[in-house]
Each structure stands twice: as C-alpha cells, then as structure tokens.
Amino acid sequence: MTPLRQRFIQDLQLRNRSPKTVDTYVMHVRNFARHFNESPEQLTGEHVHRYLLHLLHEKKASWAQYNQAVSALRFLYTVTCPSDTVVTRLPYGKRPKRLPLVRSREEVARLLAGVRNPVIAMVLRTIYASGLRLGEALALTPKDIDSGQMVLRILGKGQKERVVPLSSVLLAELRAYWRKVASRSASAPGAKSWLFPGKGKGNKRPLCASTVQRACQRVCQEQGLPRITPHTLRHCYATHLLEAGTDTRMIQALLGHHRVGTTAVYTHVSLAGLRQVRSPLETLPALDQVTAG
C-alpha cells in the first residue's frame, strides 16, 4: 500500500466513514490513478475533468457511480492532498428523480411465502416489518433486539443509530428462527454473533447481500411476480405505513432519512391516497346546465 493510499484511508477513518464508503472511495481514486498511470499527487484539475468525461461518455457510468467518483476525488483533494484549483472543477451530476417501486401487500406476501431458505426468508421478513436497508438487516445481532422496549436498535447510514418498533409477530418469528436455525451456527469464542450468519463455521461473517438479492430474483421468476428487491420491501414498508395513516414525520424517523423531503416521495406512490383524489373533470357542470345558464 502506498503512503498516499494509507493516508487517504486514515483520513476517511478519522471522519468515521463506514468501511463500505472507505472501500468505494479507494476504488474510485485507484481507477483515477490507473487511467493516467500516475500518482494522484501528480495530477491536476484538467486530468480530473478529462477523467469525469471518460466516466460519462466512454464507461457509461450511472449518475450514482459518477457522483461517487466526484465525492471520492473531492475528499482526496480537500483533505488528503489539499488543492483549491482541483476541487472547484468537480461538479456533481444531477441524478434523475424517479419514484420508488412499490408492490401490493399481496405481492409482498407471495414473495415472502416463496423463499425456501429460512435465513433469507427471515431477513426479508425483518426488512419488510421494520423498513430496514439490506445492509442494516444483515448487520443485526441478537443484542440489537430489545424485547423489553419492543424496539430494534439499528446502526444506519453515516453511523447514525436509530430505533424502530419491533412487531410482536416479528419477535415471535425471530425467536423461533433463532432456536431452529441461527443457534446451529454457534460462534467461536470472542466472535460476533450475527443474527443472520453466512455459511461457514464460527459465524464469523453475516449473510452476503448478493445471496439475498439473487434469492429475491429467483422467487419473482418462479412466482411470476414483477421485480421485487430487498430495497423494494423497504419502499413497501414506508408506503403501506403511509396508507395506514402513519404521519410522514414518523416515517422519516423510522427510515432514518435526513430530510423529510426524501420521505415525502412516498405520497406520490400511495395508491390509497391517489384514489382519494377527485379529478376536476368530475366536478364540471353538465353541458345542458351551462347552455341553459
């Protein structure tokens, strides 16, 4: 590892960036350096400009990937290798705003019923019952379940902790699941006891996210369902709560959104709310009434 990369990683860790963010930023800076076959310390704002154009036009990077690269390079040239001239030339791309995909309760029930693997099934049921991100669900340990307060303690994006209500139905299912499945993967002394352990002895790692995602895809194909991902279940949780009358501010807190505007998007996909809207066409007076008048 080069001294620059080591310092870059340490700077990210000092700011409490998540391991996933550290890996992503390192990958983007590494790709940037490899593109020019030079150390980032030797590159200029013009190089960054050319590289970002390369990402968009040649690599066909998504706006999410593009903005990740911008964030990584901004951090590099703001913190690790300060350079005002480079940072001023790093614009973020404007991502298209798309409405989240939401499925009906019946479709969610068919998906959950179609999962044969008990560990994956419990992960998905926990996501839908609590509105978690996939990574948040996979990071759960038995200690995060507070049955006394009836809450789940979640460590979310930006290392921000939040609590969400623990459904009594989910609690009963988790207890039965733990007795039958997870307790078989007993942790080695001193190892972390994951609620949803991956394969292998010692319960050293949680279940892999891609394993859960592939299982969802397979069940959707088998059941003839439209595309449903673990994150779709999080969207369904929010929308179904909104349709049941839960306040938007409360949903914002439960999802761990920084801005209420992020949560407000679910008002646009709530079918129950849309069905209550009456078109102004229906309120127009009849043509014979207008003529008579």
> Mind telling me the catalytic residues?
133, 157, 231, 234, 257, 266
What is the distance between the alpha carbons of residues 206 and 197, in angstroms, rounded to a whole number?
A: 4
121 within 8 A of 182, measured Cβ to Cβ: no
What is the distance between the alpha carbons of residues 131 and 230, in angstroms, rounded to a whole number?
A: 10
Residues 6 or more apart whose Cβ sits within 8 Å of residue 189? none
Per-residue b or e along 194-217, where b marks 16 or more CB atoms closer than 10 Å to that residue's CB: bbbbeeeeebeebbeeeebeebbe
- Mapping DSSP onto H, E and C, the string for 57-95 reads HCCCCCHHHHHHHHHHHHHHHHHHCCCHHHHCCCCCCCC
What is the distance between the alpha carbons of residues 68 and 73, in angstroms, rounded to a whole number?
A: 9
DSSP state of 245: T
Give the tokens for residue 234.
């999080």
